[in-house]
């Protein structure tokens, strides 16, 4: 009996103490938020609309760069008639001023001839060149300007096509500048301004024309010694205006400014004085041959656009701006 109870007790003790314990492992993952700065270059095309009040009109100034690479042939075509005697000293001064104002990096040749086509055909003369003096110009004027005819347009044509010396120095690929000087209108026979324009455009790609002539009585600086309509240099002025050239009043006391303008036609444009005052430099755009040209600055004091890179020869420069 004792043994049985002992056995049972042992069994009971073992059954009470045997436990199955399940351990559950719990893993907690923490989420951490970290700010990281990353620089990324992204090209974004942004269209900005600039509103300009309607009271600010748009203006376009256009300038064509000259073609100078092959040099410049210059003809001063001077009326030899007696009524021009008092003007001859200013002709000599004008030629000298031009010689001194011409660009030094361009090879020019300058000839003085009369408006008398017969004399223009037969005269024996070679052009003035860089380095020649004012006295050389005076001597050529004295030697070459003779005759009585007053047909400057036909004189140029006959000189360029029939003068033997002209064949030797005129260059077909050079720019051509013609300066007409007369106190009367052109008297060419059967060869008017339009005929001259048509002809000269065929023989030269680049042409500049200046007219030093009597202007209309309403604007002329001449005293009242002339009244006939045919004294006004209409044909010469028409030709000059066709080629966007310079017109100078022959009675002006000083031709310096006009001759300087004529000479500037033969230099590459480095700056442009605006016709109007722009709203601001933010309202100015510069285009060269239709493409935006960024290489320029604007001086609001002088109202001048200056090129930091000069546009090339024969290019079309357009300055577009809204003005006050």
Q: Please give the pLDDT value at position 141.
A: 96
The answer regarding whether domain 72-264 maps to CATH 3.40.50.300 reads: no
Say if residues 275 and 321 touch (Cβ distance below 8 Å): no
Q: Please give the pLDDT value at position 48.
A: 52
Q: What is the pLDDT of residues 137-188, one digit of tens each?
A: 999 999 999 999 999 999 999 999 999 999 999 999 999 999 999 999 999 9
Q: Please give the pLDDT value at position 251.
A: 85
- N residues, the chain: 324
pTM exceeds cut of 0.85: no
Q: Please give the pLDDT value at position 12.
A: 39
CATH 3.40.50.410 intervals, the chain: 72-264
Q: Please give the pLDDT value at position 266.
A: 78
Task: Compute φ and ψ for 97, nearest 5 degrees.
Answer: -60, -40
**Strand-strand pairing, 246-249 and 72-78:** unpaired
Q: Please give the pLDDT value at position 36.
A: 54
Which DSSP category does 81 fall into?
A: S
Q: Which burial class, exposed, middle or buried, applies to 140 when counting CB atoms under 10 A from its CB (0-12, 13-18, 19+)?
A: buried
End-to-end CA distance of the chain: 131
Q: Please give the pLDDT value at position 66.
A: 82
- Segment holding 58, helix H or strand E: strand 58-64
DSSP-derived 3-state class of residue 232: coil
Question: What residues of the chain score a pLDDT lower than 50?
Answer: 1-22, 24, 26, 28, 227
């Amino acid at each position: 009996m004792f043994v049985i109870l002992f056995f049972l007790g042992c069994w009971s003790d073992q059954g009470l103490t045997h436990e199955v314990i399940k351990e559950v492992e719990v893993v907690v993952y923490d989420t951490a938020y970290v700010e990281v700065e990353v620089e990324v270059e992204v090209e974004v095309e942004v269209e900005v609309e600039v509103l300009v009040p309607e009271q600010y009109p748009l203006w376009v100034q256009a300038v064509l760069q000259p073609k100078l690479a092959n040099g410049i042939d210059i003809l001063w075509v001077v009326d030899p008639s007696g009524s021009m005697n008092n003007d001859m000293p200013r002709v000599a001064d004008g030629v000298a001023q031009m010689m001194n104002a011409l660009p030094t990096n361009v090879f020019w040749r300058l000839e003085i001839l009369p408006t008398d086509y017969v004399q223009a055909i037969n005269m024996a003369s070679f052009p003035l060149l860089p380095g020649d003096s004012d006295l050389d110009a005076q001597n050529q004027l004295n030697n070459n300007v003779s005759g009585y005819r007053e047909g400057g347009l036909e004189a140029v044509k006959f000189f360029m096509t029939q003068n033997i010396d002209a064949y030797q120095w005129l260059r077909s690929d050079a720019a051509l500048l013609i300066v007409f000087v007369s106190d009367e209108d052109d008297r060419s026979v059967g060869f008017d301004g339009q005929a001259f324009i048509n002809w000269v455009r065929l023989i030269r790609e680049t042409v500049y024309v200046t007219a030093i002539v009597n202007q209309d009585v309403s604007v002329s600086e001449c005293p009242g010694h002339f009244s006939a309509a045919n004294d006004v240099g209409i044909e010469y002025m028409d030709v000059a205006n066709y080629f966007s050239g310079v017109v100078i009043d022959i009675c002006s006391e000083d031709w310096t400014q006009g001759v300087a303008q004529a000479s500037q036609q033969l230099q590459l444009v480095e700056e442009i004085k605006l016709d109007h005052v722009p709203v601001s430099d933010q309202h100015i755009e510069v285009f060269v041959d239709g493409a935006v040209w960024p290489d320029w600055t604007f001086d609001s004091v002088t109202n001048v656009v200056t090129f930091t890179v000069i546009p090339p020869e024969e290019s079309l420069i357009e300055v577009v701006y809204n003005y006050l």
